[in-house]
Amino acid sequence: MEDKLLEIKHLKQYFNIGRPNQVKAVDDVSFDIYRGETLGLVGESGCGKSTTGRTIIRLYDATSGQVLFNGENVHGKKSNSELKKFNRKMQMIFQDPYASLNPRMTVADIIAEGIDIHGLAKGKKERMERVYELLETVGLNKEHANRYPHEFSGGQRQRIGIARALAVEPEFIIADEPISALDVSIQAQVVNLMKKLQREKGLTYLFIAHDLSMVKYISDRIGVMYFGKLVELAPADDLYKNAMHPYTKSLLSAIPLPDPESERTRRRILYDPASHHYGENEKVEMREIAPGHLVYCSENEFEQYKTQYKK
């Protein structure tokens, strides 16, 4: 099997524990991310997909469960130097390119912040050279270094965000809805850039989004989340051809396609969580119905799905 970069084991993230408004944002989620792949995470707002990303990178302290990065646990007590090491290897790109760049800092300082903190450049000259190089990597140029974020368009700002993430030479990038705030014509530019960087630098991505057609395009494997649970995890093509979990089916049937003919004949499938009729003692968990294709189901459903599954 391929090399696992990240193992997420029974990750739980609860908020307001013990209070009446307790929320199980992420509820016992387990999956692996392999080196060099893109894992897409989809689901509707509030399903816990962003929280999963943020807990993995330790923006939240996990309630329980483990996140193993290269075999080492990310959570738990850490010294400052250990933390620094992790922060360098994992970076994040945020959704809103307007809110995630400090308006009072120049682009050069934004990008170089990580370089300064981790002491990756000896002297001013090397620091600026790194910044110029990064700007060029993401399709901007040298002249942009001394400008401020407000002078850039949304697509350009997202490129600055990507350059900032790349500055510390990470292995793993969490992209939380990186293109949702951008125009269609610009979305493709950013997605192409992310794919190019992945090819050149061997990056691993966790790509969180709700635009399923874009997720399908960029991802090798896709996980579908519903109310804090991972309900299906499969290779991208397989998920679209052989969706098993009724929630995945309903989600797929809701995507409008840019094709008037198929839109006229489209039938939406509705998902009712009560349709599973899980018994009290029935064990519901992720089960592998085909190599690499996992579905959250009970024993009975498991048999049923396996017969339904088409090669």
Partner 1 sequence: MEKILEVKDLKVSFQVYGGEVQAVRGINFDLYKGETLAVVGESGSGKSVLNQTIMKLIPMPPGKITGGQILFHGQDIVKKTDKEMEKIRGKEISMIFQDPMTSLNPTMKVGHQIMEVLLKHQNMKSQQAKERAIELLRLVGIPMPEKRVNQYPHEFSGGMRQRAMIAIALAANPSLLIADEPTTALDVTIQAQILELMKDLQKKMDTSIIFITHDLGVVANVADRVAVMYAGQIVEIGTVDEIFYDPRHPYTWGLLASMPSLDSDHKSELAAIPGTPPDLTNPPKGDAFAARNQYAMAIDFEEEPPMFQISETHFAKTWLLHPDAPKVEPPEAVKRKMRKLSSTFDKPVLVKEGK
The Cα 224–Cα 106 span in angstroms is 38
Nearest-angstrom CA–CA distance, 172 and 253: 32
Work out the angle between the directed axes of helices 154-166 and 184-201 (0-180°, nearest 10). Answer: 20
Answer for the pair 201, 133: CB distance below 8 angstroms, yes or no: no
> Out of 48, 97, 114, 155, which residue is the one contacting partner 1 (CB under 8 A)?
155
Indicate which single residue of 45, 141, 265, 281 sits in contact with partner 1 (rule: CB under 8 A): 45
- Per rule CB under 8 A, is residue 18 in the interface with partner 1? no
Q: Which is nearer to partner 1, 74 or 208 (CB)?
A: 208
Maximal C-alpha separation, the chain: 67
Does residue number 212 form part of the binding site for partner 1 (CB under 8 A)? yes
Which residue of 143, 259, 272, 280 would you call a contact of partner 1, by CB under 8 A?
A: 259
Structure tokens at 112: 């170089």
Among residues 101, 174, 191, 234, the one that binds partner 1 under rule CB under 8 A: 191
Q: Which stretch binds partner 1 (CB under 8 A): 81-89, 100-108, 111-119, 154-162?
A: 154-162
**Which of 271, 278, 233 has the alpha carbon at shortest distance from 254?**
271
**Interacting span for partner 1 (CB under 8 A) from 23-31, 69-77, 96-104, 250-258:** 250-258
Annotate each residue in 111-150 with x if it binds partner 1 (CB under 8 A) or - if it does not, as one string: ----------------------------------------
Of 199, 219, 200, give the one whose Cα is nearest residue 209: 219
CA–CA distances in Å: residue 159 to residues 92, 113, 219: 13, 16, 20
Q: Is 192 in the site for partner 1 (CB under 8 A)?
A: yes
Chain residues that interact with partner 1, rule: CB under 8 A: 44-45, 153-156, 183-189, 191-192, 195, 210, 212-214, 216-219, 236, 240, 250-251, 254-263, 266, 268, 271
